[in-house]
Chains A and B, each alone.
Chain A
């Protein structure tokens, strides 16, 4: 049996290059509480490269109760050792090491990801996922020193069709099409031509292009329909295709804004990504538009028209743009990456994460403070502070609830919230820091999804905190 068989299913999601990144990745797990181990399990199974597990404690009765990866005959042994052995047994492609130490120096080695398991951790050099479960509530916090994603893999593919800003040859083609002819001809005009003509007509009538949602989807739609007036319904398939694709006409417009939001830090200009971004900036300056991607959707039209559009008009431009763009990259980036970059240019994404330190000092305020998950976040901050002062979790004893309430009030002032419901404070006191397997499993599942995103540099990871509320089984994401 080859490894390929085993990973066949997942490679369909993140591709062989994603799998390679996963298999070369080093992951550090700090602490052997259930949620982090669950996360690591979901990374070991798909074949993560190397795991380092650090934990200072030995196995006790409660570990066996709530941690699936600690067998019952291991009491007294190092938790790190027991967990590592169990995990590696599940997938023999994975290698790893364990350390039973209190303070572990993370700076000595490179890690592609650190999982801080039930602890706050403020190192800013590596990708980081912080995890906490508390009774029926869970918290996940992501941090990445640099997060620039080319393959964002959005659910709806955007095409750069240059309807709004056609290049010279395309404009000539668009202008050469007349909306006069027999039914057969009219019903085979490609929708990109229809959209272009409708835009021109709209501009002529109103003196501007549609910009708001209702202008695009109501007024502009009417203009498209006016182009097929008199045509029987069954021959208007291509016009309705145009209506379905109204948004495609404005892709290149929206895109302009997103390019401006990508910041370039001068000191990291060795990075391939920044070579690509600065090449892109230059390219846009020279050509007024980004290099054209190869993706071209199917559309209702005659075969010869389609071939002409795809191969001759768009195809030639794609190749021309590629060569011009390649020259701007000055051999610092390989062709394959350049092509990948161009194909994804409509959906590039950069995230600048706030550091854990910043969050601890002053979390961002949230508008939607009625959200239950936000209340749980404030409460989690409060119990953590309680723990830092007392070195134990609050219980239902009166003294504890009072002390916790004071901390809660202080935390509320910090984030400008009046107060939070007393029922929630009572509920969290009931938990006494219990770690429930079910919550660890949900949170561990979500954490490993995010871990895969960070390691493969595909898809868009969350920014930056997720709170899971097991009482209602709902989750919310906040940028704290």
Chain B
């Protein structure tokens, strides 16, 4: 037994550490640190899994890897390097993706707990879900620059990673993305949204929703290359030529629209193919990697069409989401970004400094797009070391089942540097970890319906709390207002829904839910579900209607269970409402 550890750990804890079987996902910046601390803290049996191969940019912090390892599997090289120092350890290395089907609930159940060292949002979300499903504790960490955090996710006790929308992911106004981009990120966001719109599942909250007639894309014969090619060209011309020519009136004030319209540059496919200029002032002679260079403009025109066709031919299209590790999606977004940049700047003419100042709007290389789009944040060895070591410290508490001591550990560049806070309770409406949720979609005409109508309807479901969201997801001033009809609320009560005009959209969605202190909360918790009413605009509807396509069936099912209880009356009233308002 290790002498240092025996002084500090009780024999029981040491035994538990020694006998535990753990899974480490990700052998990157944090992963390397984790392996180092774990193997020096008595852990013996572990499985490490990583999909990636070693890149040059990893070497500034991932110390298990050397120059000669570039291109090799992180998991396999990681294991080899660890075993050099600790030849007696029991390590299984897997070079694979956690999305593979074989890593199912059963796979996760064999481990005592799981340590997450991922930097990929999608994979992290997936891992979080798998841990919830298999009822395994997840010890998570993340860093960016000098800041970071480490925390434990325990099902039903503490918040999961999806309980709160990720912080620091900035939202952009719809008009900025659709009509007046002024920074590279706006064009990249346009590109990513376009990718999700074309190749992803139907999503009404996409900022580009309604931009294209998607039926053509979805229903076309994917084996007909000629057809796909012509579809790609048509889409190209619509997005980068016709739409731009048509102008952007309706999204911004007329004067601004005119100012911007004067300085836009629609470009058709044919014109684009003839433009072979390289739009950059940077000396590119020293850049070796092709993906780091700004290419001749024609390259992006070709790339758009090429990747458009290729992605449509990929099995599974229709369920894709932009992923920084999927090079087709990265290249498609890179092409779109630069075409869009051309539309709005061309060659940095001096108009509004907000549009073109300095490096604000510029053409981007494929790798730059990947970095911006994938929200790749600067990672350094020191912060990773702190995060990983705290993960191991939290792991000890997990093994000791010392649940009350678990903390959310914030790593900060200044102040106290490490600040533990209590882990928050799970968010009741979380899609991933809370007891079941039920969403009802209510459609009504915002131009003819007053707010009060919706309030009364919501109240009849026992909902008495509302939020109003813009299409970009931003919450506006009316957040968490309790619904009651009194003098102060009278004015707003009689207001047409369309008058809740907010900065980015004339028709903001409203979400009605249960107020924290209301009797309704208890009621829905007893149901093991939470009800939310999402109100959306439909111009062609006269009377408010609840859509059947959403989880109405589930909602009814859930409400039926109420019969057993004293809430019979409430249940019947609600059933009646549901029936009354359904299509």
Considering the chains assembled together, what is the distance between the CA atoms of A9 and B383 in angstroms? 13
Complex contact A13–B41 (CB within 8 A): no
CA distance A298 to B182 in the complex (A): 11
Given A234-B502, A237-B503, A68 contacting B40 (CB threshold 8 A): yes
Contact of B501 among A9, A41, A234, A302 (CB under 8 A): A234
Q: Which of A310, A448, A477 contacts B382 (CB 8 A)?
A: A448
Q: Indicate with 1 or 0, residue by residue over A430-460, a CB within 8 angstroms of chain B CB atoms.
A: 1110111111011011101100100000011
Complex Cα spacing A432 to B145, Å: 36
Q: Contacting B352 at CB < 8 Å: which of A307, A431, A468, A473?
A: A307
Q: Is the CB of A5 within 8 A of B57?
A: yes
Chain A residues with CB under 8 Å of B407's CB are 472-473
Complex-state Cα separation, A407 to B456, whole angstroms: 72
Q: Are B352 and A445 within 8 A (Cβ)? A: no
When the two chains form their complex, are residues A460 and B7 in contact, meaning their CB atoms are under 8 A apart?
A: no
Q: Which residue of A lies closest to B367 (CB)?
A: A8
| Contact-size category for B | 35 or more
By a CB distance below 8 angstroms, the chain B residues around A445 are 381-387, 389
- Per-residue contact bits, chain A 59-90, to B (CB 8 Å; 1 contact, 0 not): 00010011010011000000000000000011
A382 within 8 A of B: no
Complex CA distance for A211 and B352, rounded to whole angstroms:
36
Partner of B57, one of A9, A45, A135: A9
| CB–CB A435/B4 < 8 A | yes
Q: A1-B67, A68-B40 are in contact. Are A9 and B416 (CB under 8 A)?
A: no
Alpha-carbon distance between A71 and B84 when the two chains are bound, in angstroms: 8
Residue ID in chain A nearest B385 by CB atoms = A445
A237 nearest CB neighbor, chain B only: B503
A459 touches B388 (CB 8 A): no
Identify which of A38, A307, A468 contacts B418 (C-beta below 8 A): A468
- Smallest beta-carbon distance A142→chain B, Å: 12
Please, how many angstroms separate the alpha-carbon atoms of A472 and B408 in the complex? 11
Whole-angstrom distance from the CB of B136 to the nearest CB of chain A?
A: 22
A442 touching B416 in the complex, CB below 8 Å, given contacts A6-B57, A437-B41: no
Least CB distance from A440 to B in Å reads 8
Please name the residue on chain B nearest to A452 by beta carbon: B382
* Residue B137 at the chain A interface, CB threshold 8 Å: no
Given A473-B407, A477-B415; A41-B386 close (CB under 8 Å): no
- Residues of B with C-beta under 8 A to A7: 60
Cβ of B63 < 8 Å from any Cβ of A? yes
User: Is residue B419 contacting chain A, with contact meaning CB distance below 8 A?
Assistant: yes
Q: Which residues of A contact B379 (CB under 8 A)?
A: 9
Of the candidates B37, B353, B354, B409, which one forms a contact with A473 in the assembled complex, judged by CB atoms under 8 Å apart?
A: B409
Q: Does A49 contact B (CB under 8 A)?
A: no
Name the residue on A nearest B56 (C-beta): A5
Docked CA distance A460–B415 (Å): 10
Cβ–Cβ contact B59 & A6, under 8 A = yes
Residues of A within 8 A of B352 (CB): 303, 306-307
Instruction: Tell which of B63, B353, B354, B386 touches A442, judged by Cβ atoms closer than 8 Å.
Output: B386
Is A66 within 8 A of B389, CB to CB? no
Q: Is B102 positioned at the interface, with any CB of A under 8 Å from its CB?
A: no
Q: Which of B189-197, B333-341, B390-398, B462-470 contacts A (4 or more CB under 8 A)?
A: B390-398
Can you name the residue of chain A whose Cβ is closest to the Cβ of B392? A438
Partner of B389 from A298, A307, A441 at Cβ < 8 Å: A441
A-B contact count (CB 8 A): 185
- Kindly state the separation between the CA atoms of A403 and B37 in the bound complex, as whole angstroms: 35
- Closest Cβ–Cβ distance, residue B141 to chain A (whole Å): 12
On whether the beta carbons of A446 and B417 are closer than 8 Å, the reply is yes
Interface membership of A184, Cβ < 8 A = yes
Per DSSP, are chain A's interface residues mostly helix, strand or loop, or mixed?
helix
Q: Judge whether B8 and A446 touch: CB under 8 Å.
A: no
Contact B7 A432 (CB under 8 A): yes
Interface pair B57/A298, CB less than 8 Å apart: no
A245 within 8 A of B: no
Residue of B nearest to A70 (CB): B85
Q: How far is the CA of A311 from the CA of B41 in the complex (A)?
A: 60
Residues of A within 8 A of B382 (CB): 42, 444-446, 448-449, 452
Which chain A residues border B532 with CB–CB below 8 Å?
none
Determine the chain B residues whose CB is within 8 A of the CB of A432 once the complex forms: 7
| CB atoms of A62 and B380 under 8 A apart | no
Report yes or no: A91 in contact with B59, Cβ–Cβ below 8 A.
yes
Q: How near does chain B come to A115, taking the closest CB pair, in angstroms?
A: 13
Asked if B60 contacts A47 (CB within 8 A), the reply is: yes
Q: B523: CB under 8 A from chain A?
A: no
- Are A66 and B40 neighbours in the complex by a CB distance under 8 Å? yes
Is B2 at the interface (CB under 8 A from chain A)?
Answer: yes
Shortest Cβ distance from residue A33 to the other chain B in the assembled complex, whole angstroms: 12
**Interface residue? A24 (CB, 8 A):** no
Contact B56 A6 (CB under 8 A): yes
Stretch from B108-116, B236-244, B253-261, B571-579 at the A interface = B253-261
CB proximity to B under 8 Å, residues A321-378? none
**Contact check: which of A13, A65, A460, A468 meets B145 at CB < 8 Å?**
A13
A290 interface residue (CB < 8 Å to B): no
Q: Does B61 contact A (CB under 8 A)?
A: yes
- CB of A107 within 8 Å of the partner chain: no
Instruction: Considering the complex, give the chain B residue whose CB is closest to the CB of A9.
Output: B378
B63 with A475: CB separation less than 8 A? no
- Closest chain A CB from B17 CB (angstroms): 11
With A42-B381, A446-B386 known to touch, is A475 a contact of B418 (CB < 8 Å)?
A: yes
**B378 contacts which of A12, A66, A472 (Cβ < 8 Å)?**
A12
B409: A residues at CB distance < 8 A: 473
Report A-chain residues with C-beta under 8 Å of the C-beta of B354: 298, 303, 306
Across the interface, which residues of A come within 8 angstroms of B417, CB to CB?
446, 449, 462, 466, 475, 477
Q: Does A114 contact B (CB under 8 A)?
A: no
CB of A166 closer than 8 Å to a CB of B = no
Cβ-based interface call for B566 (8 A): no
A449 touches B146 (CB 8 A): yes
Residues of A within 8 A of B (CB): 1-2, 5-10, 12-13, 38, 41-42, 45-47, 62, 65-66, 68, 71-72, 89-92, 135-136, 184, 188, 234, 237, 298, 302-303, 306-307, 310-311, 430-432, 434-439, 441-442, 444-446, 448-449, 452, 459-460, 462, 466, 468, 470, 472-477
Known: A6-B56, A452-B382. 20 other contacts (CB 8 A): A2-B288, A9-B379, A10-B380, A13-B146, A42-B381, A45-B60, A66-B4, A68-B40, A306-B352, A310-B353, A437-B4, A437-B40, A441-B388, A442-B389, A445-B386, A449-B417, A473-B407, A473-B418, A473-B420, A475-B417
Query: Which B residues fall within an 8 A CB radius of A?
Result: 2-5, 7-8, 33, 36-37, 40-41, 56-57, 59-61, 63, 66-67, 70, 84-85, 145-146, 253, 255-256, 259, 288, 351-354, 376, 378-390, 392-394, 405, 407, 409, 413-420, 501-503
- Listed by A's residue number, 8 A-B pairs whose Cβ atoms lie within 8 Å are A9-B61, A65-B3, A90-B63, A303-B351, A448-B385, A452-B382, A466-B417, A475-B418
